[in-house]
């Protein structure tokens, strides 16, 4: 899940603003693609006397704390690209409104993460494709942990063996 905690000044965002920002954040992950239900956004409103930066109270600062364990980025080029996407997504709610901001993304391991008591399936696996389609967590088999084939590629026999041909993992097998 990506868990986004948005620490912001009191009255910085209306309910409609929060919904729109949460949708923009969720949209970042639709491109991956990850199931929408993986994305959790929590808005934490802070009064001016509880928000300090550099030892000084701030009424114009928004901090994003993100735990991103569904999928991690292996190299700096991907991380830089991702940070640009994040900054673009939040800009209408931060810089465009005159707020300063900070974004921190941590990538904890997946091994201590469950949804409804189920460990999420591997990234781009058959099971994750099912979760994406249904937009919900559901039990899956060990076989469902296998990588999902590209769209249109067969994964099981599609022509009965009696016809002399069999398709397996997208290749014709002659008898």
Q: Which sequence spans correspond to the domains of the chain?
A: 2-108
- Which secondary structure element, helix H or strand E, spans residue 133, and what is its range? helix 126-134
Cis peptide before 37 (omega within 30 of 0): no
Taking the C-alpha atoms of residue 125 and residue 66, their distance in angstroms, rounded to an integer, is 24
Question: What's the pLDDT at 48?
Answer: 83
Tokens at residue 12, please?
């910085």
What's the mean per-residue pLDDT of the chain?
Answer: 88
User: What average pLDDT does the segment 144-154 reach?
Assistant: 82
pLDDT over threshold 90, residue 157: no
pLDDT digits (tens, 9 = 90+) for 62-105: 999 999 988 888 899 999 999 999 999 999 999 999 999 999 99
Cα–Cα–Cα angle for 102, 106, 107, rounded to 5 degrees? 150
What does pTM read for this prediction?
0.81
pLDDT in tens, 19-51: 999 999 999 999 888 999 999 999 999 998 999
Between residues 143 and 174, the one the model is more confident about: 143
Name the fold adopted by 2-108. Macrophage Migration Inhibitory Factor (3.30.429)
CB of 123 closer than 8 Å to CB of 71: yes
Position 154 scores a pLDDT of 56
């Amino acid at each position: 899940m990506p868990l986004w905690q948005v620490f912001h000044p009191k009255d910085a965002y209306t309910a409609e603003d929060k919904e729109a920002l949460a949708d923009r954040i969720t949209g970042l992950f639709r491109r991956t693609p990850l199931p929408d239900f993986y994305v959790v956004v929590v808005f934490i409103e802070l009064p001016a006397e509880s928000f300090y930066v550099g030892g000084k109270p701030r009424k114009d600062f928004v901090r994003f704390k993100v735990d991103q364990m569904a999928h991690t980025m292996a190299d700096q080029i991907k991380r830089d690209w991702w940070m640009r996407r994040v900054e673009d997504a939040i800009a209408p709610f931060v810089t465009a409104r005159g707020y300063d901001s900070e974004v921190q993304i941590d990538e904890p391991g997946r091994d201590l993460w469950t949804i409804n008591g189920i460990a999420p399936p591997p990234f781009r696996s058959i099971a994750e494709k099912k979760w994406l389609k249904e937009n919900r967590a559901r039990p899956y088999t060990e076989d469902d942990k296998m990588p999902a084939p590209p769209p249109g590629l067969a994964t099981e026999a599609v022509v009965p063996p009696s016809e002399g041909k069999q398709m397996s993992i997208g290749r014709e097998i002659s008898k």
